[in-house]
């Protein structure tokens, strides 16, 4: 599946079945001794990743802390989740994609990035975990939808608001 799917969290929740794999680890074409990857069942992998610099510019100032973890969701999990959403059978062995996402997003603040073709962001929004999962499912269920988005947790501080603007070219200034 040609999509950038990242989850950004201040800390990783310890959960039964979420297995940590310490470095050395290869990601972004580089070897890293410090990177920590995780595996959820046989289909879902969380690889350490980096945010695209322009994303920090559109999020509320100071929203993401220095020590936050950025994970790219890899493995066959996303494609299989789409297969399941579209009526196919998947034997998850008790480790479904929505379960790991719900676990990762139990923290107060989080960011989910879903970019089809690694460059398409149509919306920036604040939403609940359930709303975020529904948006992901709609994208996987209807290939025609294919809307990229950046979602952040609803603001617990009313002064932290994510500015939404769907005007053409909004994101192009950040991608140079």
What tokens does 96 get? 């479904």
Instruction: Tell whether pTM > 0.75.
Output: yes
Report pLDDT for 26. Answer: 54
Q: At what angle do helices 97-104 and 77-85 cross, to 10 degrees?
A: 120
CA 144 to chain centre: 20
The pLDDT tens digits for 65-90 are 889 999 999 999 999 999 999 999 99
Q: What's the rounded Cα separation, in Å, for the pair 90 and 148?
A: 25
The pLDDT tens digits for 99-145 are 999 999 999 999 999 998 887 888 899 999 999 999 999 999 866 66
């Amino acid at each position: 599946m040609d999509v950038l799917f990242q989850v950004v969290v201040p800390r990783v929740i310890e959960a039964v079945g979420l297995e940590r794999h310490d470095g050395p680890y290869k990601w972004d074409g580089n070897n890293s001794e410090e990177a920590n990857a995780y595996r959820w069942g046989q289909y879902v992998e969380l690889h350490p990743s980096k945010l695209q610099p322009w994303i920090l510019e559109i999020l509320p100032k100071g929203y993401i802390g220095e020590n936050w973890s950025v994970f790219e969701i890899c493995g066959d999990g996303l494609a299989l989740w789409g297969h399941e959403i579209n009526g196919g059978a998947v034997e998850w062995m008790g480790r479904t994609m929505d379960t790991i996402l719900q676990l990762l997003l139990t923290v107060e603040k989080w960011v989910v990035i879903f970019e089809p073709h690694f460059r398409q962001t149509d919306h920036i929004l604040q939403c609940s975990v359930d709303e975020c999962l529904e948006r992901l499912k709609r994208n996987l269920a209807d290939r025609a939808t294919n809307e990229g988005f950046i979602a952040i947790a609803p603001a617990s501080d009313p002064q932290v608001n994510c500015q939404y603007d769907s005007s053409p070219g909004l994101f192009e200034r950040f991608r140079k």
